[in-house]
Amino acid sequence: MHTTGGIARGRIKRMSVVVYPTLGGETDRFKALYQQLDALSRASALEDIYHAALASLLEATAADRAAILLFDIDGVIRFKAARGLSEAYQAAATGYSPWPRRTPRPQPLVVPDALLDQSLAPFQEALRQEGIASVAFLPLALDAGVFGQCIVYYAEPHECTADELEMANAIAAHLALAIERKRAEMECVRSEQLLQAIVDNSATILYIKDPEGRYLLVNRQFENRFHVTRAAVVGRTDYDLFPRELADEFRANDEAVLSAGKAVSIEECAPENNEMHSYVWVKSPLAGPDGSTAAIWGIATDVTERQQLEAASLRLAAIVESSDDAIISKDLNGIVTSWNQSAERIFGYTAAEMVGKPLSILTAPDRLDEMPRILDKIRRGDRVRHYETRRRRKDGLLIDVALTVSPVRNAAGRIVGASKIARDITDHKQAEKQRAVLMAREQEARRTAELLNRVAPRLAAQLDLEKLVQEVTEIATTLVGAERSAFFRTGADQKVPAQDALHHFHLPGHQELIDRTLRGEDIVRRADVTEDPGHSAIPEEDSEGLPAIRSYLSAPVIARSGEILGGLFFGHSAPDQFTEVHEAIVAGIAAQAAIAMDNANLFERAQWVQAELRRSNEELRRVNHDLEVFAYSASHDLQEPLRTISISAQILERNWGQHLESDDTLFLKNILNASSRMVVLIEDLLAYTRATKYEEGPAPQVDSARVLTNVLESMQGTIVESGAIVTAGDLPVISFHESRLAQLFQNLIGNAIKYRSKEVPHVHITAAARDGWCVFSVVDNGIGIDSQYAERIFGLFKRLHSREEYPGSGIGLAICQRVVEQYGGRIWLERSTPGGGSTFSFSLPAGRR
Ligand code: ADP
């Protein structure tokens, strides 16, 4: 079944509403009906409305069952309330309406025999099963047309009366109004809720106040910001919420808005969590229905962070501008978006010239692919750090720069460009280059020094002057890579003829250059001597067939004394062969050569001196030997005639003594005395000669205590006769010839007893180690010696007494001194006072341990 224009086809009758006079018998029914309608009007819940409507319909139409269906928002009509209808039926009948939605001015439709009606054919089975025989459709419509329907059902075929229909229609009209009212109410609540939800979810702070400043509404942001609840705020003023000065300011601003009568933008500050926040308010008066001002509303945005960000970005901008580095930003196409003052200074372009232009303007010609590569990295989100490259300034000059390029992202994290910091490192690079040059020079100098240090010992070890000169020349030639070289020696002992060497070196026309060096003036280095002004044309080859010299280098060799020993000369047939380094090497070798030559000279001289010494020693030994032989043979040979004289004089005295005059006897006695003294003297002289004879071979180890014991035994007669007491301390083993030590003890102990005083002679012998020597001392209590004679007494034949006082010939101490000195030792009078005894000491080499 389908309907058009609200008119049903087939057997559905179009009904017109007829008003019948009220009959007395039905008063109760009407009463009940009115009550139902009254309840319908009063009901506030939709359910109650439906309930009252269904009850009224059943009451008015005597139908068994009834239902209310409404079009939903999707255009399908659905059961909203029903009486006596099964779920199955409701499901089957859902969606059916005789009138399309919003049909204007529809009329009720009655189907007295629903099972026969073709228009309801699709529902007949459902109708039958539900036991419905007749139905009446009552439209629910208002100005906007149909929005639903009421349906009443009868179990038997039923012709509705005009009353029934009119009543039902009136109920439907009531119901339509009640639903509409309810819907409007709900819509109102919903939109209020929506408004509050919107207001609450707004990021801004919002309020509405009445003209007196009392809050009517605040949103959640307001509550959160100022830590208040909506319930606590509504009805209060700013004076209840904020400090007085702030409340005064807010009130004054509100009043200004009210008097302006239009929306005003105001900046206010209010505390939040102990911090003052800045808000930008838009405040506006709100007109009531009658046009008068009913309220004032305000919406605020917290701009604290924005202001802080602005301040931070201003600071950042100041930093960027004041930076010494160029700070540039560009987009992902390489177009410059910002350009600071240092960028202007470094690259020469102004910001106006560069912003909006491609940064590739700065590309150095040899680095065309570099910027696209950097941009690719940036697009991938990578950073480029401390990248050293080259850029071209506006004036075309190429400069060295160090770059750091970082991607710039937008708030969503997407890379939108790059920031670039460029530092001009041209000076730095220059300094680095210079440093590298200096380092290289220093290394070269060190290498040269090491080389010379290695050369020095070789030269120093060479003490043969001729070989030295040759070696110096060879080493230097190798080190400087010369083709030709020469060492010219000057001075008195010059052995290499300068002219020959010069000829070999072959540099005609440059005598002055060579002379400068030989005068010791300076090192000379020429890249090409053929370009010298005084250069005379020289043949391509010299007489030896060697190519002519062009590169030239020479250095004087000067001794420490300042004496010029000669010069080192180097040449090469190619120009520009000798460098500063070669100059340094040659200077070093010349210095080493001078030292080595000094050494060699000294060595030569020392060798000469040594040879001289050896010769004179030999001479001395020969003379000594001759002297010894002479002294020995003289004393020996003298003894023979002396004995003849002595014996002859004795015979004369014996045979003729009593016949002689007294004077003659005296003369004879003199002869006898003189000859016997002569015998003693000659014996002493022989003893001295023997003492000066060096004992051959190394000195053996000898126990000095044992030697002393032997000596004392041999002197037993003298000791006993004089009553002397001889004692000794610990005496060591020493390296000495035993007979010599015995000689020393014998002489000194003999003297100690001989030169005794009136007291019993006491002699004490000690020994002590001192500085690697063994010092013996012989202490006596004799007559002592005046200190002025301390040296003299060691002289040959030197005595302090006459032979009558003390016999002797003054040779004992002289012998002791000779013996001790032959072993490198010393003898001296340690201590002595006349009448107070003497101490003689002598030092001998200590024995091996
Ligand atoms: P001589 O004993 O034969 O005279 P010396 O050479 O032994 O010769 O001694 C030289 C002199 O030194 C002695 O004449 C003596 O005057 C003095 N003299 C040596 N030893 C002693 C001593 N122990 N006490 C005092 N005078 C001494």
Give me the pLDDT at residue 649, please.
84
Question: What's the full length of the chain, in residues?
Answer: 849
User: What is the distance of C-alpha 415 from the center of its chain?
Assistant: 34
Q: Is 783 in the pocket of ligand 1 (CB under 6 A)?
A: yes
- Find the radius of gyration of the CA atoms of the chain: 74
**How far apart are alpha carbons 116 and 120 in whole angstroms?**
8
| Ligand 1 center–CA 832 separation, angstroms | 12
Q: Is 808 in the pocket of ligand 1 (CB under 6 A)?
A: yes
Predicted TM-score (pTM) of this structure: 0.37
Q: What pairing do the DSSP bridges indicate for beta strands 65-71 and 524-526?
A: unpaired
Give me the pLDDT at residue 696, please.
60
Element (H, E) at 109: strand 109-111
**How far apart are alpha carbons 729 and 777 in whole angstroms?**
10
Query: Quick check: 730 and 698 in contact, CB under 8 A?
Result: no
Query: Quick check: 423 and 402 in contact, CB under 8 A?
Result: yes
Q: Is 817 in the pocket of ligand 1 (CB under 6 A)?
A: no
| Ligand 1 center–CA 692 separation, angstroms | 20
Q: Which letter does DSSP use for residue 319 in this model?
A: H
Give me the pLDDT at residue 16, please.
38
Q: What pairing do the DSSP bridges indicate for beta strands 762-770 and 725-728?
A: parallel
| Ligand 1 center–CA 708 separation, angstroms | 20
Q: Which letter does DSSP use for residue 541 in this model?
A: B
Give me the pLDDT at residue 663, please.
80
**How far apart are alpha carbons 151 and 137 in whole angstroms?**
5
Give me the pLDDT at residue 685, please.
75
Query: The tokens 């400068």 sit on which residue?
Result: 516
Give me the pLDDT at residue 500, please.
46
Half-sphere exposure of 263 (CA within 13 A, CB side): 8
Query: Quick check: 357 and 369 in contact, CB under 8 A?
Result: no
| Ligand 1 center–CA 810 separation, angstroms | 7
What residues of the chain score a pLDDT lower than 70?
Answer: 1-26, 28-29, 491-504, 506, 508-509, 534-545, 692-697, 848-849
Give me the pLDDT at residue 5, please.
34
Query: Quick check: 287 and 293 in contact, CB under 8 A?
Result: yes
| Ligand 1 center–CA 750 separation, angstroms | 9
CA distances 581 to 218, 434, 567, Å, are: 91, 18, 18
Tell me the pLDDT tens digit for each residue of 116-159. Answer: 888 888 888 999 999 999 999 999 999 889 999 999 999 998 88
Q: Which residues pair with 843 in a beta bridge?
A: 775, 826
Nearest to 752 by CA among 743, 762, 744, 760: 762
Give me the pLDDT at residue 15, please.
39
Give me the pLDDT at residue 535, please.
64
Nearest to 590 by CA among 614, 554, 633, 636: 554
Give me the pLDDT at residue 482, please.
87
Residue-wise DSSP of 414-469? -EEEEEEEEEE-HHHHHHHHHHHHHHHHHHHHHHHHHHHHHHHHHHHH---HHHHH
Give me the pLDDT at residue 683, please.
77
Q: Is 813 in the pocket of ligand 1 (CB under 6 A)?
A: yes
Give me the pLDDT at residue 2, please.
37
Residue 821 CB contacts under 8 Å (≥ 6 apart), including other chains: 827
Q: Which letter does DSSP use for residue 335 in this model?
A: B
| Ligand 1 center–CA 793 separation, angstroms | 7
Q: Is 375 in the pocket of ligand 1 (CB under 6 A)?
A: no
Three-state DSSP state, 492 = coil
Q: Is 137 in the pocket of ligand 1 (CB under 6 A)?
A: no
Residue from 745, 754, 763, 788 to probe ligand 1 pocket by mutation (most atoms less than 8 Å from CB):
754
Q: Is 812 in the pocket of ligand 1 (CB under 6 A)?
A: yes
